[in-house]
Amino acid sequence: MAFKIRAATKEDCKEIFRMITELAVFEKMPDQVKISHEELESSGFCENPLFGCLVAEVPEEHKSKEGFTVVGYGLYFYTYSTWRGRALHLEDLYVMPEFRGRGIGISILSKVAEVAKKMQCARLQLSVLNWNTPSRDFYAAKGAQDLTAAEGWHLIRFDGQSLDNLANDAPKD
């Protein structure tokens, strides 16, 4: 099946948001999506964008059952390692179920890696839920290391009230 991977545009944000919600359902966390397509537009397509995104698009004759031609995405942002320098974090890699197994996912991943190399990033990193064995196996087959097992790193998060409390404890100027 023909498809192309291209940089997302502001006009793609409704489709990206649709797939973000599909991914959240797959990850069994649909209630966790708190953004809108408008926030994607303002955060990703502004003077200093907070993320980059690639989309997979199929020709009109191969559109989904629901009529969609944008069938996958990879959303990423830059981070910095004090040990290695520039890094790229792949926040989401998603392909609609009916389009999986056709090389779209690996094409998105490879294009994100190409972006990382072009921007002189030392590494590409991402997180995968522990129960998502197919994705963990997919990344491992491409050479990814599981740092949880290999190095014992834990992902730590502050949000909601814990983030508020921490910020409120900041020294006053």
Would you say residue 173 lies in a domain? no
Q: Which residues contact 152 (CB under 8 A, 6 or more apart)?
A: none
Would you say residue 117 lies in a domain? yes
Residue 46 sits in a domain of what CATH number? 3.40.630.30
Would you say residue 21 lies in a domain? yes
**Consecutive H or E run containing 56:** strand 52-57
Confidence class for position 132, pLDDT limits 50, 70, 90: very high
Question: Which residue carries 């991943």 as its tokens?
Answer: 109
pLDDT value, residue 156: 85
| Residue 149 in this model has a pLDDT that exceeds 90 | no
Confidence class for position 51, pLDDT limits 50, 70, 90: very high
Q: Which residues contact 108 (CB under 8 A, 6 or more apart)?
A: 5, 54, 56, 72, 73, 74, 93, 95
Q: Which ranges of the chain does DSSP label H, i.e. alpha helix?
A: 13-26, 37-44, 104-118, 133-141, 147-150, 160-168
> Do 99 and 72 form a contact (C-beta atoms < 8 A)?
yes
110 burial class (0-12, 13-18, 19+ CB within 10 angstroms)?
A: middle
pLDDT value, residue 173: 87
Is 73 one of the annotated active-site residues of the chain? no
Range of the domain at 71: 4-168
Please name every residue paired with 56 in a beta bridge, in sequence order, or none if there are none: 5, 72
pLDDT value, residue 23: 97
Q: Structurally, how many domains does the chain consist of?
A: 1
Q: Which of 73, 76, 94, 139 is catalytic?
A: 139
**pLDDT over 90, % of the chain:** 92
Would you say residue 28 lies in a domain? yes
Residue 97: half-sphere exposure toward Cβ, Cα within 13 Å: 6
